[in-house]
């Protein structure tokens, strides 16, 4: 239902701003928050606004170029790794670690069977104490 269907029809373009946001995410091995991405993006492109960072993140996510991770404890974080993977989060220092469990394909199937959902994805996060924090938090009862 378009008036003309122009050639470019590019509802989703890769603009300089989006390129910068993507670059920021790709050049960090941490899982940055929107806030951190905004700060880093400003250094590369001082005029970029907060809203544009969010717009870009939504766009890049939709385009499958970044992944959003959210654990409910605060701000979303953005991940350059877009293939399905799991996470472990330290309950002491909140560190986030990537994880790959081979069992998830079966698990997804099993879960979907039990609740009669058409499976799309599965999110799995281990909560625990990381080696570093275990070292310091060794306090006995």
Nearer to its own copies, 43 or 134 (CB): 134
8 binds, among DNA, its own copies, none (CB under 5 to 8 A by kind): DNA
Quote the least distance from Cβ 114 to DNA, whole Å: 27
The answer to whether the CB of 22 falls within 8 A of the CB of 60 is yes
Q: Given the rule CB under 8 A, which of 6-14, 30-38, 49-57, 101-109 is the region that contacts its own copies?
A: 101-109
Assign 59 to helix, strand or coil: helix
Q: Rounded distance, CA 140 to CA 6, Å?
A: 69
105 binds its own copies (CB under 8 A): no
Phi, psi angles (nearest 5°) of residue 29: -95, 0
Q: Is 47 left (phi over 0), alpha (psi -120 to 50) or beta?
A: alpha
As a whole number of angstroms, the distance between CA 79 and CA 69 comes to: 7
Site for its own copies (CB under 8 A): how many residues?
A: 39
CB of 95 to its own copies, least distance (A): 10
Binding flag, residue 90, DNA (CB under 7 A): no
Contact 71, 48 (CB under 8 A): no
State yes or no: residue 35 binds DNA (CB under 7 A).
yes
Q: Does 55 help bind DNA (rule: CB under 7 A)?
A: yes
The window from 6-14, 19-27, 33-41, 127-135 that contacts its own copies (CB under 8 A) reads 127-135
């Amino acid at each position: 239902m378009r008036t003309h269907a122009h050639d470019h029809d590019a509802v989703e373009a890769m603009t300089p701003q989006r390129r910068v946001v993507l670059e920021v995410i790709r050049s960090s091995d941490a899982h940055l928050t929107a806030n951190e991405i905004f700060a880093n993006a400003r250094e590369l492109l001082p005029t970029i606004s907060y809203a544009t960072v969010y717009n870009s993140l939504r766009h890049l996510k939709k385009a499958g170029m970044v992944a959003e991770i959210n654990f409910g404890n605060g701000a979303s974080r953005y991940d350059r790794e877009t293939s399905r993977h799991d996470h472990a989060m330290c309950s002491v220092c909140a560190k986030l670690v990537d994880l790959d469990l081979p069992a998830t394909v079966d698990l997804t199937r099993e879960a979907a069977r039990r609740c009669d959902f058409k499976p799309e994805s599965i999110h799995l996060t281990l909560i625990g104490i990381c080696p570093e924090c275990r070292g310091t938090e060794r306090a006995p009862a």
